[in-house]
Chain A
Amino acid sequence: MGHKWWHWVLGVVVILAVFVPSTAWMRQRTTHYRTQYKTALNPTIMVPGSSASQNRFDALIKELRKETKVRHSVLKVQVETNGHVTYTGSIRQGDNHPFIVIAFDNNQDGVTNINKQAKWLNIAFKDLVKTYHFNHFSAMGHSNGGLILSLFLEKYFGETQHVSIDRLMTIATPYNMESDSTTQQTTMLKELIAGRQKLPKKLTVYSVAGTENYSSDGTVPANSVNQGKYVFQNQVAHYTQITVTGDETSHSDLPQNKQIVLLIRQYLLQENLPADQRQQNQQAKRRALNGEATQP
């Protein structure tokens, strides 16, 4: 009789030794899933610069579709000045990497307009998250589109819980507006620097500059693009600056520039590029870091 109760005690101890740690482990796992979970849908949000419509990236998208085997679908979003959102195109069923182009009725240049556009971007973004239930995305902004995205990330992105941004690529974005100065900071840059603490800490940023000569892509001064470091450096996880020179490097040609299309594919869309194309990008990056100019 004596050893019978001993068996029961042992049984209870064994059950507790399995049950208690498994409960602790399970809580840890569910929190992990909640924080780490990423939806399969992972769109790339594109914002054109001033005076550009929602069709601004058609040439780029055509170029990207030519190269890649995946046919990314395109959803175009237009935000009116009253905050009303209209959609053109659609995200194809089963396409997990669609492009979403967000443009604005009022697409004028200028600090106040860009601030308004960041606010409109937020309206469209919230609508998209609510409709498509993605919880992470990447973004690409050309020219002032990069400013709109940066302002949006600083001021409004925190309003949307449980959504994270993986990568941001800005192309010829004038962080210091038209100023060529390396010391004078414009209102825009001051505003961006003031809010930089609120940038997502895990974000990876690529800032691509194009130069026709040693100082400008014909519209945006190279120095203004370079000022981006005061916004992103030491704030986000990685900040990389890349300079592209050669053919088709004038400001408006940049989005469909062959070199930049490659950079978008490798860094923003994280495609597996063939070795030779990857090497090309490495060279561009190394030259950029060394401050050399690429041979045309």
Chain B
Amino acid sequence: MEQWRPLGRLWRFNQRVSRWRAARAIKEALRIAYPFVLVMTAIDVIGQSFLASNGFFFQIYHVGDWLPGLELWQQLIQVASTVINGVVAVIIAFTTGRYLAKTYRGDGQAIGVMSALAFLTLNVNYDALEQVNRTTGEGMSKFMEPNLGPQGIFLGIVVGLCVGWFATHLMQWLTRWQLKHPRYQLSWTGRVAWPLTVVLIVTIGIGYGLSWLTAGGLNGLVYQGLSELVANPGHRGFVILGVTVLNNLLWWLGLIGPVSLAGNSAVTSLQNLAYAVQHGSGWGAPNPVTLHTLGDAYANFGGAGMTLALLIAIWIGSRQVSYRRIANQTFLPNLVNLNEPTLLGLPLLYNPILLIPFIEAPAVNVVVAWSAITLKLVPPIVYPVPSTTPGPLIAYVGTGGDWRALALSLVCLGISVLVYLPFVRLLNDQGGANHGA
């Protein structure tokens, strides 16, 4: 196939990367986690957009008025969501460690379990331990639960890779040592127990050391730093653009959600709302250019990276059966801005080819929206928008029904599809059995 040269180079780079052991392990780990995440997200779609009182569909269809036993439904959904959503990062740590061990012909299951345990030791709530000593141990959770969910995926992968590599080599070294010293016979139990002990000593040491630094574990440390870096970019368009790029890069790495559609309650958004309420519209609002009015409104369709556009690009241009299947399966979650299954399923995380449009599409949209608002072609969004609002409707709803904003949203969606399309076509050439759904 005739290719534009930079794309050809990118393609060769992708081929080289995908031969790396770590890259294969990550891809495999994500592939195994995908069905679990898909089910979890399906539950979240129902829970967050249809049953939660601040959900988009809950509000537009007035679900609270006609659904009997609403509270019961909410609780049942919450149970299901807690179970799967709550431990997805543990699953990833297990699968990464297991697959990496298998590539070294090590004991996959044992090392997978080791990785999961190592990941858990890094997320123990040390505050709760003190609590247990002092009182009856009630109250606080023993784990930092948020870190075990989607936002722990990055750490899960890192721990899986480290433990997978380290423990496999330790086990193999033990085997070799045993061959040299036949006098000391070590059973299978011993060959698992000793590396496990070493791994746990190391990770508990790290975890305990970190507990002096931060209350949120290793994950907390990363998130704390990043949130402070990106949370409040102010009014300057370039800074907002930079934050959007950085944020999407972090998502690509599996650091999910330092910045999310939470701008409704920011001070600037409240000032805008106050202005709109008093003047009838968002024209002339005090803060027309913020991360909320640009990023949340025009560069977040489907979630980070405009993944809704990616799905449309796949429908238009992909010949990969697995891609088309995943696009169909994850369309509904993307419609309400829950794109984790798309990121894990394709997989988009750690995919060098899709990284470029994943960052480029939102960045282009921020620039387009910034220009349109600065040139006063559209008013900024001023009314609070439920986070599960379908992407192309966010600006329309947020401006109180401005048609120009809706048109701009559709333009942004179109641009993003065009940005994704060449890269999706490039991936058509990727063959083999190492992906699928």
Instruction: Give Cα A39 to B56, complex, Å.
Output: 25
Which of B60, B274, B396 counts the most A-chain CB atoms under 10 A from its CB?
Answer: B60
On chain A, the residues within 8 Å of B401 by CB distance are 23, 26-27, 30
Instruction: Give Cα A24 to B393, complex, Å.
Output: 13
Q: Is A34 part of the binding interface, using a Cβ–Cβ cutoff of 8 Å?
A: yes
Q: Is B273 part of the binding interface, using a Cβ–Cβ cutoff of 8 Å?
A: yes
A residues 85-103 touching B (CB-CB < 8 Å): none
Instruction: Give Cα A188 to B370, complex, Å.
Output: 60
Q: Is B383 part of the binding interface, using a Cβ–Cβ cutoff of 8 Å?
A: yes
On chain A, the residues within 8 Å of B273 by CB distance are 33, 37
Q: Is A21 part of the binding interface, using a Cβ–Cβ cutoff of 8 Å?
A: yes
Contact A21 B393 (CB under 8 A): no
A residues 17-52 touching B (CB-CB < 8 Å): 18-19, 21-27, 29-30, 33-34, 37, 39-40
Contact B393 A18 (CB under 8 A): yes
Contact B60 A33 (CB under 8 A): no
Interface residues on A, range: 10 to 19
Question: Residue B60 contacts which of A21, A30, A34, A133 (CB distance < 8 angstroms)?
Answer: A21
**Known contacts A33-B277, A133-B278: A21-B383 contact under CB 8 Å:** no
B residues 117-176 touching A (CB-CB < 8 Å): none
CB distance from B49 to the nearest CB of A (A): 11
* Interface of chain A, main secondary structure: helix
Instruction: Give Cα A24 to B400, complex, Å.
Output: 11
Q: Is B37 part of the binding interface, using a Cβ–Cβ cutoff of 8 Å?
A: no
**Known contacts A30-B400, A33-B273: A22-B278 contact under CB 8 Å:** no
Instruction: Give Cα A24 to B273, complex, Å.
Output: 20
Closest A residue to B270 by beta carbon equals A40
Q: Is A162 part of the binding interface, using a Cβ–Cβ cutoff of 8 Å?
A: yes
On chain A, the residues within 8 Å of B212 by CB distance are none
Contact B277 A19 (CB under 8 A): no
**Known contacts A29-B383, A33-B383: A22-B393 contact under CB 8 Å:** yes
Question: Residue A26 contacts which of B61, B278, B280, B400 (CB distance < 8 angstroms)?
Answer: B400
Contact B277 A25 (CB under 8 A): no
On chain B, the residues within 8 Å of A29 by CB distance are 383
On chain A, the residues within 8 Å of B345 by CB distance are none
**Known contacts A30-B401, A33-B273, A33-B383: A25-B60 contact under CB 8 Å:** yes
Contact B397 A22 (CB under 8 A): yes
On chain B, the residues within 8 Å of A26 by CB distance are 383, 396-397, 400-401
Q: Is B59 part of the binding interface, using a Cβ–Cβ cutoff of 8 Å?
A: yes
On chain A, the residues within 8 Å of B61 by CB distance are 21
Instruction: Give Cα A9 to B390, complex, Å.
Output: 20
On chain B, the residues within 8 Å of A40 by CB distance are 270
Contact B393 A39 (CB under 8 A): no
Closest B residue to A135 by beta carbon equals B278
Residues 261-274 of B, flagged 1 when their CB comes within 8 A of A and 0 if not, give 00000000010011
On chain A, the residues within 8 Å of B59 by CB distance are 25
**Known contacts A29-B383, A30-B400, A33-B383: A22-B277 contact under CB 8 Å:** no
Instruction: Give Cα A40 to B61, complex, Å.
Output: 31
CB distance from B152 to the nearest CB of A (A): 33
Instruction: Give Cα A25 to B60, complex, Å.
Output: 5
CB distance from A84 to the nearest CB of B (A): 27
On chain A, the residues within 8 Å of B390 by CB distance are 18
Q: Interface on A for B, CB 8 Å cutoff?
A: 18-19, 21-27, 29-30, 33-34, 37, 39-40, 133, 135, 162
Listed by A's residue number, 18 A-B pairs whose Cβ atoms lie within 8 Å are: A18-B393, A21-B61, A22-B56, A22-B60, A24-B60, A25-B59, A26-B383, A26-B397, A26-B400, A26-B401, A29-B383, A33-B273, A33-B276, A33-B277, A34-B277, A37-B274, A37-B277, A40-B270
Interface pairs A-B: 4 shortest CB-CB: A37-B277, A25-B60, A21-B60, A30-B400
Apart from A27-B401, A30-B400, A33-B383, what 8 extra A-B contacts exist at CB < 8 Å?
A18-B60, A18-B390, A22-B56, A22-B60, A26-B396, A30-B383, A37-B277, A40-B270
